[in-house]
């Protein structure tokens, strides 16, 4: 397993948002996480990436515990995430947004700015070339010099994924990549996910759009009221009576 979690719980006041949840994401898979509104999916993502500290439970990446690590260290270990509402820096250009995501930039160190100018310039050129290549691959190449704030909702989601790719991740956690995105762009995002997965990146995806889940995912986990309801291959989950009941109500 590339990512596994067990016994995860988180309450907000009296609300048990996630209650003793577990999950496994096999290396090389596209894994789905679904559930009705308020099931605790985003909270579970926040716990996996430690944006919120769990009350209880453990998370392992590549067999190593990560639940004590701050989010930036989890990202450096190869697990990055996107948000339900894409978080871009609106008043920076699309290219600048991408460049900010490059880890380990020598120019971030004050002393090295003075003594390693050539190395910094070379690294910046490499990062720029890599960013432009990724932007081209996600159809945002022509927007590189536009403000990120001028992008559509769907394009911002692509930019967020592009920024994640700059870190050369093993695992990307995608929170509703298709929400608020037009059908043409949804198809493009899905194609990209399949291609990046072929190149070796593992995905865990929260999504309400069942067509996207059913067409992309190798395995699907279902949460309801903060706890595990079912997991299995998409065609099984689609027919699972408990899952249907959770979505449709009693
Ligand atoms: P959706 O599909 O609608 O995005 P979800 O499955 O992602 O829902 P969560 O957003 O994780 O569900 O929310 C689970 C429960 O926890 C909900 O009842 C929600 O109101 C509550 N909740 C989530 N975050 C907080 C918070 N920061 N403070 C208080 N309650 C919260």
- 112 falls in which pLDDT band (50, 70, 90)? low
Rounded to whole angstroms, how far apart are CA atoms 112 and 203?
Answer: 36
Q: Please give the model's pTM, rounded to 2 decimal places.
A: 0.87
Residue minimizing CA distance to atom 24 of ligand 1: 43
Using the mean position of ligand 1's atoms as its centre, give its distance from the Cα of residue 73 in Å. Answer: 25
For residues 184 and 41, which has the higher predicted lDDT (pLDDT)?
41
- 107 falls in which pLDDT band (50, 70, 90)? low
pLDDT tens, 72-96? 899 999 999 887 766 778 898 999 9
Please provide the DSSP assignment of 169-215 as one string: -SEEEEE-TTTT--HHHHHHHHHHHHHHHHTT-EEEEE-S-HHHHHH
Using the mean position of ligand 1's atoms as its centre, give its distance from the Cα of residue 18 in Å. Answer: 9
Rounded to whole angstroms, how far apart are CA atoms 139 and 192?
Answer: 10
Rounded to whole angstroms, how far apart are CA atoms 154 and 158?
Answer: 6
Instruction: Tell me which of 8, 10, 11, 12 to substitute to probe ligand 1's pocket, judged by most ligand atoms within 8 Å of the beta carbon.
Output: 12
pLDDT tens, 25-76? 999 999 999 999 999 999 999 999 999 999 999 999 999 999 889 998 999 9
Rounded to whole angstroms, how far apart are CA atoms 10 and 1?
Answer: 23
């Amino acid at each position: 397993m590339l990512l596994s979690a067990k016994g995860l719980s988180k309450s907000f006041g009296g609300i048990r948002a996630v209650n003793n949840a577990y999950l496994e994401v096999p290396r090389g898979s596209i894994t789905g996480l679904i559930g009705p509104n308020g099931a605790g999916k985003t909270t579970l993502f926040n716990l996996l990436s430690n944006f919120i500290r769990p009350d209880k439970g453990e998370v392992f990446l590549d067999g190593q515990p990560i639940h004590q690590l701050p989010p930036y260290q989890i990202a450096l270990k190869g697990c990055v995430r996107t948000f339900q509402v894409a978080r871009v820096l609106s008043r920076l250009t699309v290219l600048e947004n991408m460049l900010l995501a490059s880890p380990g930039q020598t120019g971030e160190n004050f002393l090295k700015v003075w003594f390693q100018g050539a190395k910094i310039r070379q690294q910046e050129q490499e990062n720029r070339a890599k960013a432009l290549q990724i932007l081209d691959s996600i159809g945002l190449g022509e927007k590189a010099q536009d403000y990120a704030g001028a992008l559509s909702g769907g394009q911002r989601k692509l930019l967020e994924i592009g920024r994640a790719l700059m870190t050369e991740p093993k695992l990307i956690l995608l929170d509703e990549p298709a929400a608020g995105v037009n059908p043409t762009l949804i198809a493009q995002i899905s194609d990209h996910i399949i291609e990046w997965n072929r190149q070796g990146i593992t995905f865990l995806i929260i999504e309400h759009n069942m067509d996207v889940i059913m067409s992309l995912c190798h395995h699907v986990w279902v949460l309801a009221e903060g706890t595990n309801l079912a997991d299995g291959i998409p065609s099984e989950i689609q027919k699972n009576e408990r899952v249907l009941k959770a979505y449709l109500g009693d």
